[in-house]
Structure 1
Amino acid sequence: MNRRQAKSWLRTYMSPSVPRSARSSPSTTQRRPHTHSDWDNDGRESPLLRSVLRPGEVSPSVVRQDGLQDNGRRVKVVVSESGTVEPAAAAAANRESSSTPAMGIGRITTSELSEAIRVVRGRAAEEPPGPATRRDDSGYGAFWSNEVRGLKGIMFKEIHVLLVVVPLGYLAYWLGWGAKWVFLLNFIALVPLAALLGFVTEELAEHTGEIIGGLLNATFGNAVELILTIQSLRKGLLTVVKGTLLGSILSNLLLVLGMSFFAAGVFYKESEFNVQGASSNTTLLLLSSLGLAVPMVFHLQEGVHSEAVLEVSRISACVLFTVYIMFLLFQLVTHIHLFQNEEEEEDKTATLSTDHTMTEPVVDEGLPIDEMPHVSLWTSIVMLLLVTIFVSISSEYLVGSIEAVTKAWDVPQMFIGVVLLPIAGNAAEHWTAVSVAVRNKLDLTIGVAAGSSTQIALFVVPFAVLMGWALGQPMSMDFKPLETTILFIAVLIVMAVVADGRSNWLEGMMLMAAYLLVAIVLWFSPINGDDGLLEMAFD
C-alpha cells in the first residue's frame, strides 16, 4: 500500500458522514463502513477497495450508504460470489433457500489499518507524481522511521511531562536531600511512570491475541501495586502493604466509579451499562471480602496464635488465586460476551441505526487513531522492561522514606497506604475511566474500576501473602476489623448501585462521599507500624 492509496482510503474511512462501524475488542478484526463513493456504478467494489481489502471473506456488519438508490438510507449489504452488491436480508433469504454461504466484501485488520495510518504520517509533503520519483514504503529505513514516530506518539502525551521529575527523585535520594523530598518527588514520579507502563502494556497487548493480551493487561495493569508490595515487604512495612492493597480496591470502587458516574450524569440524565459483567466483578469482590474476613474472625478465637493465622492466610491466598485464574478463563474464553457492551452485541446481528453517525475519527472501541499500535512487538517489550525498572527504583526510594515521613508529618502509615499511594499508582486509570464516562461509555469505566479492584483482590493480595512467605515476612490476610468492615460495606454499596444497570450523578456523589468518609476515618486512625513491622491485631 502506497501513501496515496492509504490517504484516499483513510479519508473515506474517517469521514464524519460515514456511519460508525461495528465495534470489537482490540484484538479482533475491524469491520469497516462503506459509502456510496466506494462502489462503482455497476454495484461492484471499487479498485481502491480491491487493493486494500481482501475480497471473499464474510463481513456481516458491512454498511452501505447509497444516496442514489436508497434515498440516503444506510442498509447492510454483502457481496455475492460474482462481486455484485445485494441487501443483507435478500442474501440471508438466498442462503436459507440454497444453504450456500454468501461471500463477504472483506475485513480490514488492526495491523493493516495501522499500516495505512503510518504510511500517511510517514511523509511531510505530498508524494511526487510519477512512478520514477515514488519512494518505497518498505525496508529498514521505513521501519525505523515508523518506530521513531511511534515512540513520539507514546511519549508526547500531556501526563508524560511529569517524567522530568523521575531523575529529580533519584537525585534527591542520591544527594541526601531529605526524606520529605525523596517521598514527594518519587511520589509524583510514579504518576507518569504508571501511565507510561499502562500505555506500553496496551501497545504490547495489541500485538498479541485476545487471551494473551488480556493476561498482559491483568498482570502489568497492576504492576505498580505489585512493585510497591515487593519493596514494602522487603523493608517489613506490612501496614503499608495492606494499606496500599486496600486503598487500591477502595479508590477504584468508590472514588473512580463515583467520579465516573457523576461525570456521566452531568452530561447525560441517565446512563446504561452491561449489568452482567459488572455483577461478575462485584460478586468476586464479595468473595474476596470473605477471604479477608475469615482470617480476621479466626484470629478472634481464644488460643489462636499468629502462626495459625498465617497458615490460614496462605491457604486462603491459594484458593483466591485459583478463583482468579478461573475468572480469567470465564472472562477471556468461555463467557466473553458477558463483558461486551450491548452495542457490541447488537452490531454483530443488527444494522446500524440511521442516527448513529461518527463524530470523530474512530477505529476500535471508539478510540482515536493515536491509540492504535505505534511500535513493533520487540520495541514494546524493551519499553516494558525499561519502564518496569524505573518504576521499581522510584518505588524503592518512595517506600524507604515512608517511615521518616510518617514521623516528620505525623501521618498514619495506613492513611499513606490507603489514600496517597493508590493515587500515584492509579492516576492514569482514574483519568481514563472518567474520560470515557464523559462519552457515556460506562462499560469501559466499570471494566477499568471494578475490573482493577477484582484483579487486586484476587491476584495482588494473594501474591503479597505468598511473596511475604518467600521473603520470611509475616504477611497475612488478617486485615483489622476496621479495614475488613470498610471493604465489605463498600462492596455491598457498589453491588446495590450497579444492580439495575443504570447510573446517574446522585449515585456517583454517594460513592465519592463514601470514599471521603473512609479517608477521614483513616486520617484519625491511631494504627501505625512499630519499627516498620505490623502490630498484630488483638495481641
Structure 2
Amino acid sequence: MVNRIFTLVVLIGIPLSVLGSIFHWPSVVMFGVYCLTIIALAGFMGRATESLAIVTGPRVGGLLNATFGNAVELIISIFALKAGLVGVVLASLTGSVLGNLLLVAGLSFFVGGLKFKRQEFNVYDARHNSGLLMFAVIVAFVIPEVFAMDMNETKTLSLSIGISVILIILYLAALFFKLVTHRGVYQHKTDLVEEHEEPEWSKMKALVILLLSTVAVAYVSENLVHTFESVGEKFGWSELFIGVIIVAIVGNAAEHASAIIMAYKNKMNIAVEIAVGSTLQVAMFVAPVLVLISLFFPQNMPLVFTLPELISMVTAVLLTISITNDGDTNWFEGATLLAAYIIMGIGFYLL
C-alpha cells in the first residue's frame, strides 16, 4: 500500500516539479510538492538499498542505505551552498545528527520494542561506533568552535580544512577496519540469526533505480532550495529551524523509513547501522566534503556551528552512547530518545 502511494507521488510529483519550476508557481505550494516528491523518491532508494542489503549482508547493507540516504542531503546541501545559504547547510548537518541519533534510532527502538520485549544487536559494533561518535562530534566539531574564538576568518577556514581532511581519512580507515581487516572478528550472536530473505529487486535493477532516483532527487532538490526564503517568511521559520528540522527530515527520509522497517522485522543490526552509521557518515564524510566543496563557491563554509547546535549534538551523542552501549534496546529507551528530539525541536523552533 505504502509502495503504491510512493509510486503515485513520484509519477505525479516529478512532472509537477518540472512544470512548477518552468511556470514559477507559488513557492509555498511548490515547497510541499518538492518535499513530498523527495520523500517518495527516498522510499524507492530505501527499497533498492534494502534489496542490496539482503545480498551483501547487514554491515554493507546498512552502509549502502546510509550512503544513498545521505546522498539526498548532500545534493540539497551543495545547492544550498551554491545559493550562499551556509547557515542552512550547517543547520541541516546538525539536524542530520539529531535526526539519526534521536528520531531515527528513537522510532526504530520504539516501534521494534512494541512488538518485541527486548531487541539485541552487535554490542562490539555499538562500542566501536561510540568511540567514533565521541571523536566525530565532540572532538572534531567542538574544537573548531573553541579555537575559532581567537582566530580570524582565514585561520578558522584553514583549521576547518585541516580537520575536514583528517575526518575523511579516518572515516575511510574506519570502513577499511570494519569491512576488510576486522570483518567477522567481532561477531555477536545476533549476527548469526539473520533470516534468509529474497530481495525485492535484482542487484542490477536495484542499482539502476538507485541511480535514477538520485538524479531525480538532484533536480528536485535544486528547486527546493530556491523556496526556502519565501517559505521561511510565510511561516515565520528561521534559517536554523528550516535546516535542523525540515531539510534534515526530508533529506534523510530514505533511512528513516528503512531503519524503522528493519527494527519492526527485528533486524536490529541493520537498523542500528543505518541510524548510527549514517550519523558517522554525516559527521566524518558529508560535513568535511561540504567544507571542501564550499571552497569553489563565493561563500566558504567553516566547520563552526552555533552554540545551540553544538550543545544539542553533544547531548544527542552522549544520550545515544549511554542507551546503545549494552547492545540491547526496548520501547522505553526509544521513547527517551524521541522525547529528547522533541524538546530540541521546540527549542530550535522558538529561537
Calculate the TM-score normalised by the size of structure 2.
0.90
Tell me which residue corresponds to 1:374: 202
Q: Which residue matches 1:24? A: none
Alpha-carbon displacement from aligned partner over 1:325-384 (angstroms, at most 9, x marks no partner) = 001101111222267552334x7xxxxxxxxxxxxxxxxx43643x25436x3x555444
* Distance in 2 between residues matched to 1:269 and 1:523, nearest whole Å: 35
- The Cα shift of 1:473 comes to 2.5
Contact 1:172 1:181 in 2 (8 A): no
Does the CA contact (< 8 Å) of 1:277 and 1:338 recur in 2? no
1:253 to partner: Cα distance: 0.3
The answer to whether 1:296 aligns with 2:125 is no
Change (3 A) 1:219 1:445: closer
Within the alignment, does 1:319 sit opposite 2:166 as a pair? yes
Match of 2:326 in 1: 500
User: 2:112, 2:119 within 8 Å by CA — same for their partners in 1?
Assistant: yes
User: Does 2:174 correspond to 1:174?
Assistant: no
- The equivalent residue for 1:186 is 34
Q: What is the CA distance between 1:224 and its match in structure 2?
A: 0.2
Residue identity matched to 2:73? E
* Change over 3 Å in CA distance of 1:209–1:512 after alignment to 2: closer
Give 1:508 deviation, angstroms.
1.1
1:252-271 CA deviation, whole Å, 9 max, x = no partner? 10011111212222222222
Number of the residue aligned with 1:222: 70
Mapped to 2, the partners of 1:288 and 1:509 lie a distance apart of 25
Q: Which amino acid aligns with 2:297?
A: L
Residue 513 in 1 paired to residue 339 in 2?
Answer: yes
Alpha carbons 1:247, 1:419 under 8 Å: kept: yes
Structure 2 letter corresponding to 1:401? T
Query: Match of 2:237, SS?
Result: coil
Q: 2: CA distance between counterparts of 1:335 and 1:396?
A: 40
Please give the secondary structure, in 2, of the residue aligned with 1:314: helix
Answering whether residue 77 of structure 2 is matched by residue 251 of structure 1, we say: no
Cα pair distance change 1:262/1:473, threshold 3 Å: same
- Distance apart, 1:310 and its partner CA: 0.6
Question: Which amino acid in 2 is paired with 1:431?
Answer: A
Q: How far is 1:324 from its partner?
A: 0.4
Does structure 2 retain, via aligned residues, the 8 Å contact 1:169–1:394? yes
In structure 2, distance between residues paired with 1:444 and 1:502: 14
Q: State the AA in 1 paired with 2:157.
A: L
State the alpha-carbon separation in 1 of the partners of residues 113 and 341 from structure 2.
Answer: 19
Q: CA RMSD of the aligned region, Å?
A: 2.6
Instruction: Provide closer, same or farther for how the CA distance between residues 486 and 310 of structure 1 changes in structure 2, counting only shifts above 3 A.
Output: same
User: 1:311 is matched by which residue type in structure 2?
Assistant: S
* Distance in 2, Cα, partners of 1:286 & 1:206: 30
Counterpart contact for 2:69–2:253, Cα < 8 Å: no
* Partner of residue 191, structure 2: 344
- Contact in 1 for aligned 2:122/2:191 (Cα 8 Å): no
> Could you list the runs of 5+ residues in structure 1 that have no partner in the other structure?
1-154, 348-364, 526-539
Please name the residue that 1:486 is paired with: 312
Aligned to 1:7: none
Partner Cα distance (1:282, 1:221) in 2: 21
| 1:441 CA displacement | 2.6
Q: Structure 2 vs 1, CA of residues 233 and 444 (structure 1 numbering), >3 Å: closer, same or farther?
A: same
- TM-score (ref. length: structure 1): 0.60
Shift in CA distance, 323/207, structure 1 to aligned 2, threshold 3 Å: same
Change in CA separation of 1:273 and 1:380 when aligned onto 2, cut-off 3 Å: closer
| Corresponding residue for residue 179 of structure 2 | 332
Deviation, structure 1 residue 455:
0.9
Counting only pairs closer than 5 Å after superposition, residues 75-86 of structure 1 correspond to structure 2 as: none
Query: Is the 8 Å Cα contact of residues 62 and 277 (structure 2) preserved in structure 1?
Result: no
Q: 1:473 aligns with which of 283, 299, 306?
A: 299
Taking the aligned partners of 1:203 and 1:272, their CA distance within structure 2 comes to 23
Letter in 1 for 2:120: E
Give the total of aligned pairs.
348
Alpha carbons 1:232, 1:399 under 8 Å: kept:
yes
Counterpart for residue 397 of structure 1:
223
Moved more, 194-203 or 407-416: 194-203
1:524-539 map, 5 Å? 524-525=350-351
Q: Which residue of the partner structure matches residue 443 of structure 1?
A: 269
In the alignment, which residue of structure 1 is the partner of 2:125?
277
- Output the amino acid matched with 1:292: F
Q: Which residue of 1 aligns with 2:81?
A: 233
Preserved contact between residue 341 and residue 443 of structure 1 (Cα < 8 Å): no
Deviation at 1:217, TM superposition (A): 5.0
- Show CA shifts across 1:220-277 (max 9, x none): 3421011011111110111111111111111110011111212222222222221111
Question: What SS does structure 2 have at the residue aligned with 1:247?
Answer: helix
**2:138 counterpart of 1:310:** no
Q: Distance in 2 between matches of 1:520 and 1:208?
A: 40
Work out whether residues 211 and 333 of structure 1, in 8 Å CA contact, stay in contact via their aligned partners in 2: no
The corresponding residue for 2:7 is 160
SS of aligned partner of 1:411? coil
Could you list the per-position Cα deviations for residues 270-289 of structure 1 after superposition, in whole angstroms to 9, with x for gaps in the alignment?
22221111222222121111
Q: Does 1:418 align with 2:267?
A: no
Quick one: which amino acid aligns to residue 285 of structure 2?
F
Contact 2:103 2:341 in 1 (8 A): yes
Q: Tell me how far apart the structure 1 counterparts of residues 215 and 347 of structure 2 sit (CA, whole Å).
A: 35
> For the residues of structure 2 that align with 1:336 and 1:221, how far apart are their CA atoms?
23
Task: Report if the CA contact (8 A) 2:122-2:190 is conserved.
Answer: no
Q: Which runs of 5+ in 2 are unaligned?
A: none
Q: CA offsets per residue over residues 453-496 of structure 1, 9 Å max, x none? A: 11111110011101101224220111111111111111011110
Amino acid at match of 2:113: G
Deviation at 1:181, TM superposition (A): 1.3
* Cα separation, 2, equivalents of 1:282 and 1:275: 10
Q: How far is the alpha carbon of 1:201 from its aligned partner?
A: 4.8
Q: Which amino acid aligns with 2:202?
A: H
Residue range with higher mean Cα deviation, 190-199 or 209-218:
209-218
1:66-110 deviation line (CA, Å, top 9, x unaligned): xxxxxxxxxxxxxxxxxxxxxxxxxxxxxxxxxxxxxxxxxxxxx
